Amino acid sequence: MTSDPTPTTDRQLAVRDDHYCFGCGQQNPIGLKLPFFEDGDTGRVWAPWTPAPEHQGFEGIAHGGLITTVLDEVMGWVIYRRQLWAVTGTIDVRFRKPVELGVDTRAVAWIVRETGRKIDVAAELRRPSDDVLLAEATAIFIRVPEEQARAWQGRYVPQP
């Protein structure tokens, strides 16, 4: 399995491209510019990411903070897929293997549980070429007030 091309059963999430979000904004010149895809009917969301030289931590491997950013971002968009808007309350990342620069990866996230305003989410970063687990995360996201959710919906998602 590879991160490109996109499997035909997956649909790209509609994300506006006219903003500076470091994870998904297309206007941010130093941002990751991640696209997000629904994983068929599983309820999961995934994003391809190939770490570039400017994402380096130690020589030849991606910086842990950027790995965390990719996982956090895909978790945020899996929540949006359910028409919810929330912010990261806590995140716990476990780094399993080095994430090599220039090697395709795939981040996948899913919702574990919803309890009131709290949403428990999990994610993994794998190398599609051999399905090796590189990093995994769990997080608690907190739903924002409805007024804020409406504002973000209008700002980050194309309107019909």
Residue 160: the pLDDT is 73
pLDDT score for 4: 44
According to the model, what pLDDT value does residue 5 have?
Answer: 42
Q: How far apart (Å, rounded) are the C-alpha atoms in residues 12 and 140?
A: 25
Distance separating alpha carbons of residues 75 and 108, to the nearest angstrom: 8
- What are the structural domains, with CATH classification, of the chain? 11-156 (3.10.129.10)
Count CB neighbours of 117 within 10 A: 13
Give how far Cα 114 sits from Cα of 57, 90, 142, Å. Answer: 35, 15, 10
- What's the pLDDT score for residue 68? 98
Q: What is the spatial distance between Cα 81 and Cα 120, in angstroms, rounded to a whole number?
A: 14
Question: What is residue 139's predicted lDDT score, i.e. its pLDDT?
Answer: 98
Write out residues in the chain with pLDDT < 50, as ranges: 1-7
Write the pLDDT tens digit of every residue in 19-43.
Answer: 788 988 888 999 999 999 999 889 9
* pTM reported for the whole predicted model: 0.90
